[in-house]
Amino acid sequence: MSTASFFLYKATSATLTFTAAV
């Protein structure tokens, strides 16, 4: 997995977690 893909994955996960917490 490339660094960009990993960063995108982490960013998406963080966004979903934040959305679920709201």
1-15, pLDDT tens digit by residue?
689 999 999 999 999
C-alpha dihedral, 3 to 7 to 9 to 14, nearest 10°? 160
CA-closest candidate to residue 3, choices 20, 11, 22, 13: 11
pLDDT of residue 1: 61
Say which DSSP state 4 is in. H
pLDDT of residue 7: 96
CA distance 6 to 22: 24
User: pTM value?
Assistant: 0.52
Query: In the block, which residue shows the tokens 């995108």?
Result: 8
pLDDT of residue 22: 82
